[in-house]
Amino acid sequence: MAAPKKGRNASAQSKPGRSLALILIAIAALTGGMFASGHTTPRLGIDLAGGTSITLRADAEPGQESAINQTNMNTAVQIMERRVNGLGVSEAEVQTQGDRNIIVNIPKGTNSKEARDQVGTTAKLYFRPVIATEISGADAAATPSPSASSSASGDSTEKATDKATPSGSTSPSATSTTQGRAVTDALKADPTPSTSATSSASPSASGSPTGDTGSSKLQAQYAALDCTNKKARATAGDGAKPEESTVACGQNSSGQWQKYILGPAEVDGTDVDKAEAVFQTQTGAGWTVTMKFTDAGSKKFASITGKLAQNQQPQNQFAIVLDNDVVSDPSVREALTGGSAEISGNFTQESAQSLANMLSYGALPLSFSEDSVNTVTAALGGEQLKAGLIAGAIGLALVVIYLLVYYRGLSIIAILSLLVSAALTYTIMSLLGPTIGFALNLPAVCGAIVAIGITADSFIVYFERVRDEVREGRSLRPAIERAWPRARRTILVSDFVSFLAAAVLFVVTVGKVQGFAFTLGLTTLLDVVVVFLFTKPLLTILGRTKFFGNGHPWSGLDPKRLGARPPLRRTRRPSAPVETKEA
C-alpha cells in the first residue's frame, strides 16, 4: 500500500492537538463571557416566558373608510414591528387579524411597558411651530417665568444642533455650557441674529409661521387648558387638522407640564428618513438624537427653520407632536438646509432612544385604538416545552444507545462531540439574547432537537468512511486520513443543504417560524465547526492508541467483525520457471 502523501494536509493532521485546543479555548471564552455578562440562560419568548398581548383596532376618519385596506394595514404592521424591535423587545409578534385588527405580542422581561406605550401611540407625527407656551396648572406656581433658556448654534457645515431644553425654565443666565462658554455668549455669537424683538408670550409679527392665534376659540382653549389634568391632556387639540393651529400639552425634563399654542403642521413624520440616538464623546454633549430627512422633507424643514430662526424664544421653537403630545420642543438659530439635524439636551440613553424611535417609526397610515390588553401566562408554553424536552431526551437516548451498540468504542467520540456541540449552542444562545435580542421559543427548541440528528449524521458519515477503508485491508491510521477527504465533502454538502433550507425559511417566514429557522441554521454551522475541530482531531489522536489502532473487538474498528480483506502486500514478481533440458 502506498504511503500517504506528505504536505500541508499531512503536517496539519500530525498536530490535531491544536484544533482541540482551539475549540476548547473557544468554549471557555464563551462560557466566561456568559457568566461575565450575567446572562447564564437564554432569553425566552412569549410562549415560554409569558408577556402581554395587545389588540389594536383601526379607526377610519370620517369619510375615509376606504383607507382601511390591506396595503395600509400591512404598512402599519411593519412600522409597529420596527417600533417595538427598536426598543430591544425581542421576539415581538405583530400581525393582522381580520380586516381591521392588529395583534401585538410582547414577551415578558423586556421593555414591554414602553413598547405598549409606543404601540398605543398610533397617531401621525407632525412638526409644528411653537407660537406660545407656558407652565400649566399647578406647576405654574413653582416656575413663574415662562420664557425659555437656551437655543442652538449651527456649525460651518449647515448642520445645526437644537437644544431640547424645557421651554418653561427661567431666563438666560451665564451658566457654562459643555463647550466652556456661557449660554448668553452663544446667543450673542448668533450668525443669524433675530430681525424682530417679539414677546415670548405673544405671536411673532414677522418671520414666524402664521397661526390662528387671533381666534377667540383657540385663545379660550389655551387659557382654560390644564395639562396637569389627565383628561384635559387626552382631549387637548382633538379634531384639529394638520393645516390648522391647535393647543397641546407636553412634559419637560423637570417633569413639569407645559401647554402650547402650535401653528399648522409644516413637516410630516413620513418626511423623516432616519433618526438615531448617538452618544457624543468628542463634543461632550452626551446623548443626542440625529435626524435625516427625505428630499421633500429636507426642503420643508429648511423652509420652516429659516422662518423660525428669525424669531426669539419661544417662537424659534418647533414642537414634535405625536398623538397631541409634545414629545420635544427644540429651538432653532439658523435655517437647517443640509437635510439633517441634531437635537441635544438633558437626554438619557433611554429618553434619546425613545425619541429616536418616535421620529423613525411614529407616522402610521391609520389611526388605531386599543381594543384589549391581555396578560399571557407561560403555563401552557411551559407544559409544551416540558413535553418537547422529554421527547428530545428520549430521541437523544435512542441515538446514544444505537451508537453504543453499533459503533462501540467510536460512540465515545460521537457522544463527546454531541456534548461539545450542546455547550457551544447553549452559550451562544445565552449571549445572543442581550446582544441581538434573540429569544428562545418553542419552534426554536424544536430546531435544536432536529439538529441532534444532523450532527449525528455527520459522525456516522465519517465513521462509515473509516470502516470502509479498514474493510479494504488498510490499517487504522492511514484509513482515518484517507477517509477524511471523502467524508468531508459529503458532510459539507449535507450541511450546506440544511443551512440553505434554514436561510430560505428565515427570509420568507415571520414570527415564531423564524426562531426555528434561526436555530436550525446556527446548529448546522456549529456542526461543521465541531466535526472539523473536534471529531476529526479526536479520532486521529485515539487512532494512535493500542485500543483503537490494534482493532480491539470493543473499539468498533475490529477488522474481523468488519469482514476486512487480508492486508495487501507487495512482493517481487517471481521469475518464470526454467525447464530443464535433457541431453
What is the pLDDT at residue 183? 25
pLDDT tens track for 245-300:
899 898 887 778 889 999 898 888 878 888 888 888 877 778 888 888 888 888 88
pLDDT band at 409 (very low <50, low <70, confident <90, very high): confident
Q: Give one word for 473, left, alpha or beta, with left for phi > 0 and alpha for psi -120 to 50.
A: left
* DSSP SS3 for 357: helix
pLDDT average, residue stretch 449-466: 87
What is the pLDDT at residue 570? 53
Cell readout for 337 is 438646509
pLDDT tens track for 359-397:
776 666 677 777 777 776 766 567 777 887 788 888 888
What is the pLDDT at residue 193? 30
What is the pLDDT at residue 43? 78
pLDDT average, residue stretch 334-348: 81
511 pLDDT higher than 50: yes
* DSSP SS3 for 163: strand
Largest CA distance in the chain: 150
On whether the CB atoms of residues 148 and 200 are closer than 8 A, the answer is yes
pLDDT average, residue stretch 480-495: 92
pLDDT band at 489 (very low <50, low <70, confident <90, very high): very high
CATH topology of domain 51-114: Alpha-Beta Plaits (3.30.70)
> Within 10 A of 461 (CB to CB), how many other CB atoms are there?
18
Alpha carbon distance 570, 566 (integer Å): 12
Provide CB contacts within 8 A for 337, sequence distance 6+. 158, 298, 302, 306
Run of H or E residues at 121: none
* Distances from the Cα of 478 to the Cα of 463, 474, 481, angstroms: 14, 7, 5
188 pLDDT higher than 60: no
pLDDT tens track for 71-81:
778 777 877 77
Within 13 Å, how many C-alpha atoms sit on residue 251's CB side?
Answer: 7
pLDDT band at 314 (very low <50, low <70, confident <90, very high): confident
Entry field: residues in the chain: 583
* Distances from the Cα of 566 to the Cα of 257, 476, 557, 559, angstroms: 94, 14, 15, 9
On whether the CB atoms of residues 125 and 367 are closer than 8 A, the answer is no
109-123, 373-387, 446-460: which has the minimum mean pLDDT?
109-123
What is the pLDDT at residue 365? 66
Alpha carbon distance 529, 248 (integer Å): 59
Higher pLDDT, 209 or 542: 542
On whether the CB atoms of residues 253 and 165 are closer than 8 A, the answer is yes
On whether the CB atoms of residues 55 and 79 are closer than 8 A, the answer is no
Domain spans of the chain? 15-33+378-562, 51-114, 124-362
What CATH number belongs to 15-33+378-562?
1.20.1640.10
Q: Are the folds of 15-33+378-562 and 51-114 the same?
A: no
pLDDT average, residue stretch 327-351: 82
180 pLDDT higher than 50: no
What is the pLDDT at residue 145? 43
